């Protein structure tokens, strides 16, 4: 460090979740971070594995077209980084619900299966299922995990063999009808069992207005209007509590978190979380979320998407732009009787 005098800026906002995230300006002298972040049980028929290739990315084939992000290696790397981001955010906890000795657990839309694998390691007595449209999970996994190819927006068949715990994370821009999905969870969890969703409010905020007029702002406006036009839920986080209560859950508990983008916060924990958020987005994340919605629904060319994504990424590296997201962990219990 070269004589760093840490000046403190505090964001001025009335939004409770995003208030008072102090900006670390010490990087103008030096910074430790710097700016560089430079056994399937379903039978896997050939159609499930016959992935769609489009604009240089690979997409799921089962229920072709229903999920707009890729399922290739780059995206799997990004999702594994997102998992680490969540562990950092929640201080290494995989879930917050007060579950006790769960025997049967499902992770909905499990992605790379990393949450299900970690959960199975921590709960060797539990039988853990991870389901997803894509069979992209590893095959070397703990013996108490299995992965299924399944569409969670279709009718469920779990009521006769219900779960002690149902977990779902980061289904924003994946699912159209969260209310229906959460009612299915209610039907498929045992009386006294718990359901937990962890999800974004996808729209970014910057209480000091530093996001205004940037390519980052344009990026999110463009992609979310495409997702919303196609019927996907972009901001489930703040609505989860209501959906849980409407489904009949009791003891509904809500925790709201701030996830900054980048290393601009002064607070060490938020800086670390922000660094992981930037790292997962820089793993081709801007292109991943934009390519299919903008080319399929707004007739953009691949090149136009790449340009917008790279401008957004560049803005993301600008420490004068203080972007952050609200993230919610909501859990509830099915009544005992």
Ligand X SMILES: C[S@@+](CC[C@H](N)C(=O)[O-])C[C@H]1O[C@@H](n2cnc3c(N)ncnc32)[C@H](O)[C@@H]1O
Verify binding: residue 329, ligand X, rule CB under 6 A: no
Could you give the 3-state DSSP secondary structure of residue 132? strand
Residue placing its CB nearer to ligand X in the complex, 111 or 265: 111
Minimum distance of ligand X from residue 289's CB (angstroms): 9
Q: How far apart are CA 289 and CA 79, in angstroms?
A: 12
Q: Which stretch binds ligand X (CB under 6 A): 9-17, 75-83, 121-129, 277-285?
A: 75-83
Look at strands 22-24 and 104-108 and give their pairing.
Answer: unpaired
Q: How far apart are CA 263 and CA 243, in angstroms?
A: 34
Q: HEC profile for 243-305?
A: HHHHHCCEEEEEEEEEEECCCCECCHHHHHHHHHHHHHHHCCHHHHHHHHHHHHHCCCCHHHH
HSE at residue 309, side-chain half, CA atoms within 13 A, is 22
Minimum distance of ligand X from residue 273's CB (angstroms): 15
Between the CA of residue 322 and those of 3, 61, 174, 319, what are the distances in Å? Answer: 24, 38, 26, 7
Verify binding: residue 227, ligand X, rule CB under 6 A: no
Query: In this structure, are residues 238 and 317 in contact, taking their beta carbons and an 8 Å threshold?
Result: no
Name the token pair of 119. Answer: 């959960």
Verify binding: residue 281, ligand X, rule CB under 6 A: no
Minimum distance of ligand X from residue 117's CB (angstroms): 11
Residue placing its CB nearer to ligand X in the complex, 173 or 263: 173
CB-closest chain residue to ligand X: 111
Look at strands 250-260 and 324-333 and give their pairing.
Answer: antiparallel
Identify the residue among 21, 59, 70, 83 touching ligand X (CB under 6 A).
83
Residues in region 164-183 near ligand X by CB under 6 A? 169-170, 174
Residues in region 9-38 near ligand X by CB under 6 A? none
Verify binding: residue 287, ligand X, rule CB under 6 A: no
Q: How far apart are CA 310 and CA 317, in angstroms?
A: 11
Identify the residue among 24, 72, 132, 222 touching ligand X (CB under 6 A).
132
Minimum distance of ligand X from residue 11's CB (angstroms): 28
Query: In this structure, are residues 201 and 240 in contact, taking their beta carbons and an 8 Å threshold?
Result: no
Query: In this structure, are residues 121 and 56 in contact, taking their beta carbons and an 8 Å threshold?
Result: no
Q: How many CB atoms lie within 10 A of CB 154?
A: 10
Identify the residue among 152, 211, 294, 309 touching ligand X (CB under 6 A).
152
Residue placing its CB nearer to ligand X in the complex, 118 or 153: 153
Q: How far apart are CA 202 and CA 327, in angstroms?
A: 8
Minimum distance of ligand X from residue 227's CB (angstroms): 12
Minimum distance of ligand X from residue 114's CB (angstroms): 7
Residue placing its CB nearer to ligand X in the complex, 147 or 264: 147
Minimum distance of ligand X from residue 31's CB (angstroms): 29
Verify binding: residue 196, ligand X, rule CB under 6 A: no
Residue placing its CB nearer to ligand X in the complex, 216 or 289: 289
Verify binding: residue 258, ligand X, rule CB under 6 A: no
Verify binding: residue 282, ligand X, rule CB under 6 A: no
CA angle, residues 212, 228, 148, in degrees to nearest 5: 120
Verify binding: residue 334, ligand X, rule CB under 6 A: no
Identify the residue among 17, 21, 23, 79 touching ligand X (CB under 6 A).
79
Q: Which stretch binds ligand X (CB under 6 A): 127-135, 185-193, 223-231, 307-315?
A: 127-135
Interacting residues toward ligand X by CB under 6 A: 60, 66-67, 79, 82-83, 109-111, 115, 132-134, 150-153, 169-170, 174
């Amino acid at each position: 460090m070269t004589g760093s005098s840490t000046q403190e800026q505090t964001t001025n906002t009335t939004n409770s979740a995003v208030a008072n995230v102090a900006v670390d300006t010490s990087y103008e002298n030096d910074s430790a971070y710097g700016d560089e972040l430079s056994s399937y049980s379903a039978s896997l028929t050939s159609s499930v594995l016959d992935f769609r290739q489009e604009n240089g990315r690979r997409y799921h084939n089962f229920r072709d077209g229903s999920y707009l992000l890729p399922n290739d290696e780059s995206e799997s790397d990004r999702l594994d980084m997102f998992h680490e981001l969540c562990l950092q955010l929640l201080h290494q906890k995989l879930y917050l619900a007060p579950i006790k000795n769960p025997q049967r657990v499902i992770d909905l839309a499990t992605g790379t299966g990393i949450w299900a694998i970690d959960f199975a390691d921590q709960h060797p007595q539990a039988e853990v299922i991870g389901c997803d449209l894509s069979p992209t999970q590893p095959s070397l996994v703990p013996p108490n995990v299995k992965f299924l190819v399944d569409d969670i927006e279709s009718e469920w068949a779990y009521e006769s063999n219900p779960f002690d715990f149902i977990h779902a994370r980061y289904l924003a821009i994946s699912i159209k009808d969260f209310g229906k999905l959460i009612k299915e969870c209610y039907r498929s969890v045992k009386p006294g069992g718990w359901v937990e969703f962890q999800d974004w409010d996808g729209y970014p905020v910057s209480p000091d207005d530093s996001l205004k007029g940037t390519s980052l702002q344009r990026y999110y406006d463009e992609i979310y209007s495409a997702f919303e036009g196609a019927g996907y839920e972009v901001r489930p986080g703040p609505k989860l509590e209501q959906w849980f209560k409407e489904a009949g859950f009791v003891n509904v508990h809500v925790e709201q978190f701030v996830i900054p983008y980048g290393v601009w916060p002064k607070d060490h924990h938020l800086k670390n979380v922000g660094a992981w958020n930037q790292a997962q987005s820089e793993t081709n994340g801007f292109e991943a979320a934009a390519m299919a919605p903008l080319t399929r629904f707004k007739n953009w060319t691949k090149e136009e998407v790449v340009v917008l994504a790279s401008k957004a990424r560049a803005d993301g590296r600008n420490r004068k732009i203080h972007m952050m997201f609200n993230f919610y962990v909501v859990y509830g219990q099915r009544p005992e009787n």
